[in-house]
Structure 1
Amino acid sequence: MRCASLRQRARVARALADRLVDSDVLIDSLRGFGDTGQRMVSASLRDTLFTTAINVFELERGARTAEEISEVRDLLDKVTVLELDRDSAREAASIDRELRAAGIRLDTRDTLIAGVARNHRMPLITRNSRHFDRIPGLVVEEL
């Protein structure tokens, strides 16, 4: 993994503060792509990193070995997991109706993640902005 300067790490930690992190960014962190791992650690030290229970499912589902499962769980222990509660589920249903009315199809998991983010009024940090940028009222930031 490439080391980032303290200034870079602080900047990225601020950029991730109070944002919801999508599975692809978490996976990049696990795989050590770029300095994403350091960015995640820097931000998590300030207790400002969030993800969803749906992202937990996606990461756990993708882990194939005991070592990978352990790495996933260690990473997820460093972030705050937002649940798919009633209000977030209703928000996701609203998003689904909006998209279907516009003739847009989106994977159910992405719709649920967007529902949690929009319900909590949190920007979503992702590398798949094309999946989410069609959702009205959702702030999407590509890392």
Structure 2
Amino acid sequence: MSLRYLLDTNTVVFFLKGHPAVVERWAQVPPAEMAISAIVWHELMVGATASQAPEARLAGLRRLGEVLEVLPFTREDAAASATIHAELQAIGTPIGPRDTLIAGTARRHATIVVTNKSREFLRVGGLTVADWTLTAQPANQKKKKRP
């Protein structure tokens, strides 16, 4: 099997908090088809470190890191992210800097971004976006054409 889904931070948090639709969808996908980017790993680590129970949260993330692949952020990802940034700036619809890095990684790996921030990621041409917090998944997967 090959990588199919790149999970955004909010999707992982929904899973860890037991969101029923996210947990159900997660269980249907083989682990080899899911990954997170190093950017998402960073955001999760920041959240865990700043929590009221950092040791427990960090231990949970370590267990998650044993199951989910963490994609490194490479110079190719940086180039793809820079292109996305320029495209969105040119039309006046930028997204947040970390979301731009995640989108660049997803576009380069041709994966579906799983997020509940569809409005942000659908601005990026060439991305397919899915929201696992919704129950009827296939109808909720959307793809934006590249400019």
TM-score, normalisation: structure 1: 0.81
Q: Which runs of 5+ in 1 are unaligned?
A: 1-16
Q: Pick from 2, 8, 14: which aligns with 1:28?
A: 14
CA distance in 1, matches of 2:25, 2:73: 26
CA distance in 1, matches of 2:129, 2:24: 21
How far the C-alpha of 1:37 sits from its partner, in A, is 3.2
CA distance in 2, matches of 1:44, 1:53: 20
Regions of 4+ moved over 3 Å: none
CA deviations 1:50-94 (Å, max 9, x no partner) are 110000001110012210111122122211111110111100000
3-state DSSP of counterpart to 2:70: strand
| Distance of aligned partners of 1:79 and 1:44 in 2 relative to their CA distance in 1, 3 Å threshold | farther
1:44 and 1:79 in contact (8 A); partners too: no
Q: Pick from 43, 52, 59: which aligns with 1:58?
A: 43
| Distance of aligned partners of 1:35 and 1:137 in 2 relative to their CA distance in 1, 3 Å threshold | closer
CA distance in 1, matches of 2:55, 2:102: 26
1:1-143 matches, within 5 Å, as: 18-45=4-31, 47-63=32-48, 64=51, 65-143=54-132
Identity of matched residues, %: 33
3-state DSSP of counterpart to 1:124: strand
How far the C-alpha of 1:40 sits from its partner, in A, is 2.8
The root-mean-square deviation of aligned C-alpha atoms, in Å, is 1.6
Aligned length: 126
